[in-house]
A and B are shown apart, each in its own frame.
Chain A
Amino acid sequence: MTEQTSPLMIGGHSFTSRLLLGTGKFADADTMVRAVQASGAQIVTVALRRFDRDRPHDNLLEPLLAMKHITLMPNTSGACTAAEAVRAAHIARELCGSSFIKVEIHPNPHHLMPDPIETFEAARILVRDGFIVMPYMPADPVLAKRLEEIGCASVMPLGSAIGSGQGLATADLLRLIIRDARIPVIVDAGLRSPSHAAAAMEMGCSAVLVNTAIAVAGDPPAMAEAFAQAIQAGYKACHAGIMATGEASATSPLTAFLEPTKQNP
């Protein structure tokens, strides 16, 4: 699929797709691979797990690595502290050679909200260690600038809790983050449908990461394609100048005090 968008620059690397894909929760590896292909995504997240000789091979990595246009972005999911996340990052880099790392630290297994303090600390260390750091974070405008300051390649604020499908619950905060960011803002987590992704792009974010909404859809490859189209539409709309919302109120004219002048036809 040809992308009509200008390239997305992250950590010195150029990407044409603004849809990032997660690989969790798919029914099987084959479905996951077809969804990745249908999405046009160029950045794909993976997690670490213990190698178990008794479990059948998921054969996850090989087909992804075979797709030359795919950049793997391992995440540190499972880590509860900065130290664990840093170790996971080094393991991941050893495993696939990619310097991209999604710092994902959620100590509470119920709501899976990211820990801002451990995330900041992990990001600081991993930037120092030469990683392209992509922190998954609460939608906090101050934290976003702090992470930008210490050298993160992007920020990934959540739209709503992982897997919750609540969409852009953090929309107002996302707008603040987007407005002041000088690095890409990638909205991650909680998107349920392509219209959410389009809305995020209309707000001006740089890209979107989707996992659950595609993985548990009835037809994941078709849903992946729908998300990709929605992201393109949202990006185009943002750059086409969306009309403003009006505020209807029946009061007397506010501009009556201005001197009457010749109006433009």
Chain B
Amino acid sequence: MNSPTPFAAPPTPQTPDEQQFISLLRANPALHLEDMARRAQHLTRQHFGRAITLYAPLYLSNYCSGGCAYCGFAADRRQVRHKLEPQEIAEELAAMKAMGFEQVLLLTGERTPQADFDYLLASVRLAANVFHEITIEAFPMPVEEYRQLVDAGCTGITIYQETYDPKAYAKWHRWGPKRDFGARLNAPTRALEAGMRTVGLGALLGLADPLREALSLYRHVRELQARFWRAGVSVSFPRLRPEAGGFQPPFPISDQQLAQLIFTFRICLPETPLVLSTRESPTIRNGLAGIGINRMSVASRTSVGGYCHPVADTARQFDVSDDRDIPTFCEALRQRGLDPVFKNSDSSYRQDPAAQEKPCPNL
């Protein structure tokens, strides 16, 4: 840890809800963390039952024009660039479906000639042949482009602000369109205006003061939930992990701080899905599943493709810390009294009446 008290200078809460949020974040963990965990577990069970929804990311391309100082795919990193062609995409998606997934997260970097909007749109169309729930994690777009994606079958976007601190944002995003703080900040709004059903928010933990980051993220969630009350907003907790370039996060978050952050979000946003990826270790994931966290990726490949044709040695965006396969992970969840599920039930009303609740295929 860089500083002994990372939650040092408290930002100013504007409402009673924000006061509660800050109090929980700043509570002495020695006295309160266990109690917060119990409350988080209780609320998670109340709103989500014991279900943990599982998904997997598909990196379509690691071409990127961006200059994010912390990312293995930044334009100045020397690595093999690869992009999936339509046939490969179809094969990867089929492989993921065969593994049991019913929803997919499609990722690309910042716009490049190799992986531009049309490429993403075509990929969504391919995914729509296979999945009812399709989320993209890509560059910010205007409303018209989001609308085209919606029409093609895209149901949500994930876009992390990375940091809500404009100064830190400017420092760590060295060049390119991603330097536009406001364009990124308003991307979820534009996506929802275009008819996306879900947005996933998050801050890349470690880039700036975590208390301020958390409060900004909380405000962002509340604002979107109030304004787009028909849509679903979820929150992820990506924590900066070591990667090949050796970026050292200036505000590293300990495991305990991560847990306290997640418990706080669960207590203050009881119905908001909270997401944890395979960036985190098996111990952390086992511990937090069902205690705040109700949605998790599994068996993730963070290099391009990788489900159908496993590619060794290709660079990853970040190191996967939990590389347990699906049956192993599902068993670990079940041992903790949780139900791994792959579905989203509302898809059965929308398109294909045959879409059913699917538990883990390893039965």
| Co-complex (A, B) | yes
On whether A257 and B286 interact (CB within 8 A), knowing A145-B229, A182-B226, A264-B5, the answer reads yes
Interface contact B33-A255, CB-CB below 8 Å? yes
Q: Which residue of A lies closest to B259 (CB)?
A: A258
Q: Which of the residues B16, B19, B28, B38 comes within 8 Å of A247, measured between beta carbons?
A: B38
Q: Does A138 contact B (CB under 8 A)?
A: no
Q: Does A204 contact B (CB under 8 A)?
A: yes
Q: Does A59 contact B (CB under 8 A)?
A: no
Q: A246-B35, A257-B283 are in contact. List 4 more A-B contacts (CB 8 A).
A: A181-B226, A253-B34, A261-B254, A261-B255
Contacts of A264 in B (CB 8 A): 5, 28-30
Q: Tell me the A67-86 residues at the B interface (CB within 8 Å).
A: none
A249-265 near B? 1/0 per residue, CB < 8 Å: 10001110111010110
The smallest C-beta distance from A250 to any residue of chain B, in angstroms, reads 11
Q: Tell me the B233-279 residues at the A interface (CB within 8 Å).
A: 254-256, 259, 267
Interface contact A180-B33, CB-CB below 8 Å? no
Interface contact A254-B256, CB-CB below 8 Å? no
The smallest C-beta distance from B140 to any residue of chain A, in angstroms, reads 25
Q: Tell me the B23-45 residues at the A interface (CB within 8 Å).
A: 23, 28-30, 33-35, 37-39, 41-42
Q: Does A66 contact B (CB under 8 A)?
A: no
Q: Which of the residues B20, B29, B227, B287 comes within 8 Å of A263, measured between beta carbons?
A: B29
Rank and list the top 7 A-B pairs by shortest CB-CB distance, nearest first. Answer: A257-B287, A263-B30, A254-B37, A145-B229, A241-B19, A258-B256, A255-B37
The smallest C-beta distance from B211 to any residue of chain A, in angstroms, reads 14
The smallest C-beta distance from B159 to any residue of chain A, in angstroms, reads 22
Chain A contact residues, majority secondary structure: loop
Q: Does B112 contact A (CB under 8 A)?
A: no
Interface contact B284-A255, CB-CB below 8 Å? no
The smallest C-beta distance from A112 to any residue of chain B, in angstroms, reads 28
A204 to B20, CA, bound (A): 13
Q: Tell me the B201-233 residues at the A interface (CB within 8 Å).
A: 225-227, 229
A247 to B226, CA, bound (A): 29
On whether A258 and B255 interact (CB within 8 A), knowing A238-B16, A249-B38, the answer reads yes
Q: Does A244 contact B (CB under 8 A)?
A: yes
Q: Does A111 contact B (CB under 8 A)?
A: no
Chain A interface residue number, banded: 20 to 34
Q: Does A239 contact B (CB under 8 A)?
A: yes
Interface contact A247-B37, CB-CB below 8 Å? no
A253 to B33, CA, bound (A): 10
- CB within 8 Å of B: which residues of A? 142, 145, 179-182, 204, 238-239, 241, 244, 246-247, 249, 253-255, 257-259, 261, 263-264
- Of the candidates A238, A244, A254, A259, the one having the most CB atoms from chain B within 10 angstroms of its own CB is A254
Contacts of A257 in B (CB 8 A): 283-284, 286-287
B279-294 near A? 1/0 per residue, CB < 8 Å: 0000110110001000
Q: Which residue of A lies closest to B35 (CB)?
A: A246
Could you show 7 A-B contacts with beta carbons less than 8 Å apart?
A: A241-B23, A244-B39, A244-B267, A246-B35, A261-B255, A261-B256, A264-B30
A263 to B27, CA, bound (A): 11
- Of the candidates A244, A255, A261, the one having the most CB atoms from chain B within 10 angstroms of its own CB is A255
A261 to B254, CA, bound (A): 9
Contacts of B254 in A (CB 8 A): 259, 261
Contacts of A261 in B (CB 8 A): 254-256
A253 to B225, CA, bound (A): 33
Interface contact B255-A259, CB-CB below 8 Å? yes
Interface contact A180-B225, CB-CB below 8 Å? yes
Contacts of A249 in B (CB 8 A): 38
Q: Which residue of A lies closest to B28 (CB)?
A: A264
Contacts of B225 in A (CB 8 A): 180
A204 to B283, CA, bound (A): 39
Interface contact A255-B16, CB-CB below 8 Å? no
A247 to B34, CA, bound (A): 11
Contacts of B229 in A (CB 8 A): 142, 145, 180
A153 to B311, CA, bound (A): 59
Contacts of B283 in A (CB 8 A): 257
The smallest C-beta distance from A165 to any residue of chain B, in angstroms, reads 28
Interface contact A247-B39, CB-CB below 8 Å? yes
Interface contact A241-B20, CB-CB below 8 Å? yes
Interface contact A254-B286, CB-CB below 8 Å? no
A258 to B291, CA, bound (A): 13
Contacts of A254 in B (CB 8 A): 34, 37-38, 41, 287, 291
Q: Which of the residues B16, B30, B226 comes within 8 Å of A241, measured between beta carbons?
A: B16
Q: Which residue of B lies closest to A202 (CB)?
A: B16
A258 to B286, CA, bound (A): 11
B3-31 near A? 1/0 per residue, CB < 8 Å: 00100000000001101100100001110
Contacts of B39 in A (CB 8 A): 244, 246-247
On whether A204 and B16 interact (CB within 8 A), knowing A246-B35, A247-B42, A264-B30, the answer reads yes
Contacts of B287 in A (CB 8 A): 254-255, 257-258
